[in-house]
Amino acid sequence: MAAAMSPALRDALKWLADHGGDGVFADKSHQVLYAQGDKAPFMRSTWNALCHLGRVEFYGNRRCRIVPPRSF
């Protein structure tokens, strides 16, 4: 059974999907995600929680992207 997501996690995932599905942590402390030139209105802990749930993945140098749904 999939873990339930809070409204904040759903909103963050929707924001990233609406901004191309891929972003970079580009501020000085690598805490703020930018995608398509826009600053995400979500804290780094939100992205960490989504990664823990398997909904996004961190890759490369400070990058974050949506994990496509798996089909069985």
Domain borders along the chain are 7-66
pTM of the full structure: 0.88
On whether the CB atoms of residues 66 and 17 are closer than 8 A, the answer is yes
Local structure of residue 18 (DSSP, 8 states): H
Residue 2 pLDDT: 58
Q: Render pLDDT for 17-72 as a digit per residue (tens, 0 to 9).
A: 999 999 999 988 889 999 999 999 999 999 999 999 999 999 998 999 999 877 66
The per-type count for the chain, helices as H runs and strands as E runs, is 2, 5
Q: What is the pLDDT of residue 63?
A: 97
pLDDT at 71 (0 to 100) = 66
